[in-house]
Amino acid sequence: MKQSLFESRHQPEWQRFSQLLEQLERRQAKAEDCLSFPQDYRRLCQHLALAQERGYSSYLIDPLQQLALRGHQQLYRQRTPMSAKVLGFVLAGFPRLVREQWRFVLAAGLLFFGSLLGFGLLVYLFPDLVYSLISPEQVGAMQSMYDPDSSRLGRDAARASSEDWVMFGYYIMNNIGIAFQTFASGLLFGLGSVFFLFFNGLMIGAIAGHLTQIGSGQTFWSFVIGHGAFELTAIALAGAAGLQLGWALIAPGRLPRGEALLQASRKSVQLVCGVMLFLLIAAFIEAYWSSLTWPAPWIKYLVGAALWALVALYLIFAGRTAHAPE
């Protein structure tokens, strides 16, 4: 068949298909118009193959190729109902994923909490050590922040309750930023994640040890215990996600490194979504609960312990049953 005949015979079909594509791309297509879309698309593919095989002109083949590409993108895109997916992820998917990746979670947890507790203890026993990590001015700022005499707590001692909202925004920006860095730098063979986990552990440990040692322990611990459950766990999980990326590059198993990285990144980005959720909760608690001064310290410790237990129970037990909500 000559090119012109082929073209004049099928041109109307192609035009109809391209109009439908335009509607689909603008998300205005009606459902009844799309019933024949898969057939039309496959027919177009057949025409394209024929045109190529018969050596028709590029000016015929290229537009057909563009139509086929657009059709491909409409037909094979992933559509999942977002709300059902999010709910399923929060209720079951995330804790399952954390348990599935327990090796990385354990490694990241040991690195982070190990350096935190270890260095905290060291600073408590040998107070001068804190200055090897943090400059004296910063230590001074920390001390005034958690001064037992101040009326409100947090990163700014003199702040009023209208500033809770400011701090909420600040915590989200700061903490999620740190979590993202911890995750992303894991791509460098896991080294970045190891560094950030270790470094953040040292910093927090140093501050905790120092403040406890100089006698601000009560204000400090009652402040951090509540949101710490979510915040510290989230940093450790972000590190675990980063380590997973790095490990895929170090030990890809029987896959090529690129493929191993792809598979690892699919899992780890889900982990990071969970981390973001945790950090949002943490920022909320930090801004609106931890900064309050009226609850007696024992109430704060009690609530803090309950929150830690909640996080642990959630990560260990949620989504274990076979009929977990999907």
Partner 1 sequence: MSFAPPTLLASALDFFLNQASHQLPMLETTAPPRKAPLHPPLDTRYQVETPEGIDLPLRPAGLMSRAMAFAIDLGFRGAILGVLFVALAFLGKLGMGLGSLLLFLISWWYMVLFEVLNQGRSPGKMLMGLRVVQDDGTPIGWGPSLTRNLLRFADMLPFGYFLGAISCLQHPTFKRLGDLAAGTLVIYRERTLERPALPEAEPKRAPFALKLDEQRAILGFAERQSQLSAERIEELAAILAQPLQVPITQAKAELNGIARGFLGPT
Residues that bind partner 1 (CB under 8 A): 1-5, 8, 25, 41-42, 45-46, 48-49, 52-59, 61-63, 65-66, 68-69, 72-73, 76-78, 162-163, 165-170, 172-173, 176-177, 180-181, 183-188, 192, 245, 258, 261-262, 264-266, 268-270, 272-273
Nearest distance, CB of residue 38 and partner 1, angstroms: 10
Compare residues 169 and 325 and give the one whose CB is closer to partner 1.
169
Q: In angstroms, rounded to a whole number, what is the distance separating the alpha carbons of residues 21 and 73? A: 10
Q: In angstroms, rounded to a whole number, what is the distance separating the alpha carbons of residues 189 and 322? A: 36
Compare residues 75 and 305 and give the one whose CB is closer to partner 1.
75
Indicate the burial class of 197 (C-beta count within 10 angstroms; 0-12, 13-18, 19 or more): buried
Q: In angstroms, rounded to a whole number, what is the distance separating the alpha carbons of residues 326 and 315? A: 17
Nearest distance, CB of residue 6 and partner 1, angstroms: 8
Nearest distance, CB of residue 15 and partner 1, angstroms: 13
Nearest distance, CB of residue 27 and partner 1, angstroms: 10
Indicate the burial class of 183 (C-beta count within 10 angstroms; 0-12, 13-18, 19 or more): buried
DSSP codes joined into one string, 125-144? HSGGGHHHHS-HHHHHHHHH
Compare residues 52 and 151 and give the one whose CB is closer to partner 1.
52
Compare residues 142 and 283 and give the one whose CB is closer to partner 1.
283
Q: In angstroms, rounded to a whole number, what is the distance separating the alpha carbons of residues 276 and 171? A: 12
Alpha helices in 89-190 (DSSP H): 94-100, 102-125, 130-133, 136-145, 164-184
Nearest distance, CB of residue 10 and partner 1, angstroms: 14
Q: In angstroms, rounded to a whole number, what is the distance separating the alpha carbons of residues 150 and 144? A: 8
Phi-psi region of 27 (alpha: psi -120 to 50; beta: other; left: phi over 0): left
Q: How many C-alpha atoms does 128 have within 13 Å on its Cβ side? A: 0
Compare residues 280 and 324 and give the one whose CB is closer to partner 1.
280
Phi first, then psi: give them for residue 28, nearest 5 degrees: -115, 5
Nearest distance, CB of residue 206 and partner 1, angstroms: 25
Yes or no: say if 175 and 279 are a contact pair by the CB < 8 Å rule: yes
Helix/strand number for the chain, H first, E second: 13, 0
Nearest distance, CB of residue 193 and partner 1, angstroms: 10
Compare residues 225 and 275 and give the one whose CB is closer to partner 1.
275
Compare residues 289 and 308 and give the one whose CB is closer to partner 1.
289
Nearest distance, CB of residue 2 and partner 1, angstroms: 2
Compare residues 4 and 132 and give the one whose CB is closer to partner 1.
4
